[in-house]
């Protein structure tokens, strides 16, 4: 049954007060699919649907709801229901949820949490935003290094019913310093009497709690991890980051980069749920900057007014030159930014990248210039010397665009800026100015018979 059919059936059951059949229907569904149903319901219906959820599903469904629906639900349910949700939710999901709420609701939720959970939440909230500590969870299995495999398996069985964890356990010493990791598979296949320190993996990839979450995402990709321990500066284990949490980080970071590459201030609000005023506020700053920077293009055209007056036909090819240059530069910057994000390109590769893009520009520029020569020669009534100026300008513009497009993102990285800022519109503005300078300079030098400056 599709989503609409499920909603219609649930609505009919709720309308006729068949709450138990509705609850049984929801019990057979995946919690994430149930959470998707809330997007198409008004707030009053969302509350009714949430109240008829089976108790063992309510916390998991709640953690997957959009923040605005979570807020609406919390505002209308009882303190006892809040307490049940907080108790069942994973701690990292609880922290993410609390960070989106106004202060009065945060206070109410913390009052319903147990002292232990409240303490842990407060610890999470003190970590910098977008740090490893802010996305980690404390729900994991920690084993002591002095244990035998038999003792470790016994502890795993006891904790598995309490903690939501994967099959990786973390080995700590007397002072909680991280010493290694071991998988459940390794423990099951090892001698029960063997010391855990003899079979554990000692070469552990870990991260500081203050490390940026984007760095953590790169480490997950590089080492193909399912979970990663998080430590303090003294290498004491304070939490772990799981692959499902890092997937959310990757989506968030990718969205932020896309916004910056389109010259938009990043926003965490869904497109349709963000107000028109908020959309405008996030876009206007860069539009103003790019508008002002584009005045340099106008100044160049103004400087060469006499050239255009002498050869008006030159004006017809300005858009083609500027667009081609901008597109060529955007291609290079996008590839370099992506390569840097994936760890394929580093600062020490600066000259390698420039040399590669330069060679690419020679080939691409030559092909574009040849195609443009044929198009103008056969379809436009333009003197041959003007065609040569146009094609040479195009060739030089493509070379400049490719080189500039590769330099700017790497320069941004060196200046501790986000390379994504240097993509798209900004590079286009720079390349436009370069293209016009080349075009008019060549026109003055090579078209002396028709231009009198």
- CA–CA separation, 5 vs 124, rounded Å? 41
Predicted local distance difference test score (pLDDT) of residue 153: 92
pLDDT for 247-277, tens place per residue?
Answer: 888 888 888 878 877 778 877 777 877 888 9
Contact 39, 61 (CB under 8 A): no
Predicted local distance difference test score (pLDDT) of residue 189: 94
Predicted local distance difference test score (pLDDT) of residue 161: 58
Predicted local distance difference test score (pLDDT) of residue 19: 81
Predicted local distance difference test score (pLDDT) of residue 320: 92
Ranges of residues in the chain whose predicted pLDDT is under 50: none
The first and second tokens of residue 420, run together, are 């994504």
Predicted local distance difference test score (pLDDT) of residue 422: 67
- 431-453 burial, b at 16+ Cβ within 10 Å, e below that, comes to bbbbbbbbbbebbbeebeeebee
Domains for the chain: give ranges and CATH numbers. 3-126 (1.25.60.10), 142-242 (3.10.580.10), 294-446 (1.10.357.20)
- CA–CA separation, 197 vs 180, rounded Å? 8
Predicted local distance difference test score (pLDDT) of residue 128: 86
């Amino acid at each position: 049954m599709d989503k609409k059919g499920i909603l219609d059936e649930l609505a009919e059951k709720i309308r006729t007060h068949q709450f138990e059949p509705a609850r049984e229907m929801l019990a057979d569904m995946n919690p994430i699919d149930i959470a998707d149903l809330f997007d198409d319901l008004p707030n009053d219906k969302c509350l009714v649907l949430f109240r008829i959820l089976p108790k063992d599903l309510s916390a998991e469904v709640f953690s997957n709801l959009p923040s605005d629906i979570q807020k609406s639900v919390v505002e209308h349910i009882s303190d006892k229901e809040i307490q049940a949700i907080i108790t069942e939710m994973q701690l990292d999901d609880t922290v993410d949820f609390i960070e989106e709420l106004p202060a009065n609701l945060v206070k109410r939720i913390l009052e319903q949490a147990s002292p232990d959970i409240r303490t842990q939440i407060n610890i999470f909230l003190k970590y910098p935003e977008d740090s490893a500590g802010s996305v980690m969870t404390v729900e994991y299995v920690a084993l002591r290094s002095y244990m035998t495999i038999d003792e470790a398996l016994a502890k795993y069985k006891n904790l598995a019913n309490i903690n939501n964890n994967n099959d990786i356990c973390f080995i700590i010493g007397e002072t909680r310093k991280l010493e290694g990791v071991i998988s459940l598979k390794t423990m099951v296949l090892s001698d029960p009497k063997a010391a855990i320190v003899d079979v554990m993996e000692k070469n552990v990839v870990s991260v500081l709690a203050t490390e940026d979450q984007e760095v953590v995402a790169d480490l997950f990709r590089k080492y193909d991890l399912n979970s990663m321990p998080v430590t303090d500066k003294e290498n004491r284990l304070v939490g772990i980051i799981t692959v499902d949490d890092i997937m959310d980080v990757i989506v968030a970071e990718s969205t932020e980069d896309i916004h910056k590459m389109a010259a938009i201030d990043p926003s965490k609000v869904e497109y349709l749920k963000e107000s028109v005023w908020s959309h405008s506020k996030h876009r206007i700053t860069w539009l103003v900057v790019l508008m002002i920077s584009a005045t340099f293009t106008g100044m160049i055209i103004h400087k060469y007014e006499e050239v255009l007056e002498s050869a008006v036909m030159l004006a017809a090819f300005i858009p083609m030159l500027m667009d081609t240059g901008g597109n060529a530069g955007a291609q290079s910057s996008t590839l370099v930014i992506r390569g840097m994000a994936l760890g394929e390109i580093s600062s020490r590769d600066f000259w390698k990248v420039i040399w590669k893009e330069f060679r690419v520009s020679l080939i691409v520029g030559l092909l574009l210039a040849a195609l443009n020569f044929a198009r103008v020669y056969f379809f436009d009534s333009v003197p041959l010397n003007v065609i040569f100026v146009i094609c040479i300008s195009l060739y030089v513009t493509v070379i400049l665009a490719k080189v500039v497009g590769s330099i700017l993102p790497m320069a941004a990285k060196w200046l501790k800026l986000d390379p994504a800022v240097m993509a798209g519109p900004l590079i286009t503005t720079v390349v436009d100015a370069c293209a016009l300078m080349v075009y008019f300079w060549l026109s003055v030098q090579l078209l002396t018979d028709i231009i009198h400056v």
